[in-house]
Amino acid sequence: MVGSFSRPHDLIEATKRHAEGKVSQEELDAQLEKATEATIRGEEAAGLDVITDGEQRRSSFVSFVGDKIPGFKVMHITELNPEGLEILKRNKVQLTYMRAVVSEELKDAVIARDEYEKARKYSRKPFKVTLPAPYLVMWESWHKTHSKEAYPDPEDFGYAYAKLLRKEVLRLKDAGVSFVQLDEPMLGDLTEAGDKPDRYRRVFYELYGQEYRGFKEELKLAVDMLNEVIKGVSGVKIGVHMDRWPNKDSPYFDLGYERFLPELLETKTSQWVLEYTSQGTGDPAKLVKEFPDKVEIGLGVINVQNYEVETPEQVVARAERVTGSIEPERIWLNPDCGFAPGMFRTFPRDVAFAKLKSMTEAAEILRKKYA
């Protein structure tokens, strides 16, 4: 799994009713526990080698940090800009409407270890825990008005968050987590940028007032912040996930993450978790053949945007795009992204589990073929 998994209907309803004051915290907690167990049991039944809790306890893949770390204020997108919803529509961008905005100096706090400790009892398999990466959170959470007193520049905030994130990675390692994944979709979307910003940075400029620094400067900043989190950490696999939402209007449509070379490889990560099933994402072989020894690819072979269940043979064909460019033992199979990065995305759970089952069946075919 990359991270998130769609929530059961009962949990979505309980979350809505809790916000309305019609469901107690105890009732909501019971639904969260039930959803976490059901998700993990389903992952095990699908045959996954590494388990996540499906991020069942998170409101979104980014804004939940505002509920965890002192210094954030959760605000509706229209509070950042009264035309917020129109800005999203005009730029063809989807964002969750509740945004975690930094408003005071950050204080260290547990971000995800508590979620892991509640989930670990349901499986003995290795666990992956996902965390929003610093470059992403810098762009999503620094506002020119609300944040400037605490952090005059977005970079100040980004590095402060990176230092706290490193502490959480160490806490997760000490708790027994096998794989920590840093989610960095803002870096992935940089594939669409050049002299001019991509659509996401245009949106965040309009909403937050943060300005685009130029392609190379943005890339360098993202790499530096990732290394700030990773430095000195050992004994746990670190992966970096880059989303990719190809835009046919971009002059870089059909070019892949290889646009980030060679700077990308300065990141001291164990694995790159990448999306490759959508049209316009490029050729993964061009990137992986440049990987240093021992760096792995988490190869996106399952589309999370449609409900068509891939056959194992289709998944095998997608995986074999890279088998001639990197050793088979360095290839992990995963969906492109999470199935439900926001609380209320209702991707059918039975379809998602069926897709995962096809992926694990494909892995068995490939293991026999390349043994």
Ranges of each domain in the chain = 9-58+104-370
Q: Quick one: pLDDT band at residue 247, thresholds 50, 70, 90?
A: confident
CATH class, range 9-58+104-370 = alpha beta
Please state the rounded mean pLDDT for residues 200-223: 96
Q: What is the pLDDT of residues 330-345, one digit of tens each?
A: 999 999 999 998 777 7
For residue 92, name the pLDDT band (cuts at 50, 70, 90).
confident
Mean pLDDT of 177-189: 96
Mean pLDDT of the chain: 95
pLDDT > 80? residue 361: yes
265 CB burial (10 A radius; 0-12, 13-18, 19+): middle
Per-residue pLDDT reduced to its tens digit, 16-46:
999 899 999 999 999 999 999 999 999 999 9
Q: Are 258 and 219 in contact (CB under 8 A)?
A: no
pLDDT at 299: 98
Two tokens, residue 369: 């073929």
The answer on pLDDT for 180 being more than 80 is yes
How many Cβ atoms from other residues are within 10 Å of residue 22's Cβ?
10
Please report which confidence band the pLDDT of residue 47 belongs to, taking 50, 70 and 90 as the band edges: very high
40 within 8 A of 53, measured Cβ to Cβ:
yes
Lowest-confidence range among 88-102, 145-159, 191-205?
A: 88-102
- Give yes or no for residue 245 having a pLDDT over 90: no
Contact indicator for 244, 202 with CB cutoff of 8 Å: no
234 CB neighbour count, 10 Å cutoff: 7
Q: In Å, how far are 33, 80, 109, 114, 168 from 68, measured between CA atoms?
A: 19, 21, 7, 10, 12
**CB crowding 327-348: b at 16 or more within 10 Å, else e:** eeeebbbbbbbbbbbbbebebe
Cβ burial 48-62 (10 Å sphere, 16+ → b, else e): bebbbbbbbbbbbbb
Neighbours of 34 (CB within 10 A): 15
Query: Is the confidence at residue 63, as pLDDT, over 90?
Result: no
What pTM did the predictor assign? Answer: 0.95
**Chain segment 288-333, per-residue pLDDT in tens:** 999 999 999 999 999 999 999 999 999 999 999 999 999 999 999 9
Average pLDDT over residues 116-145: 97
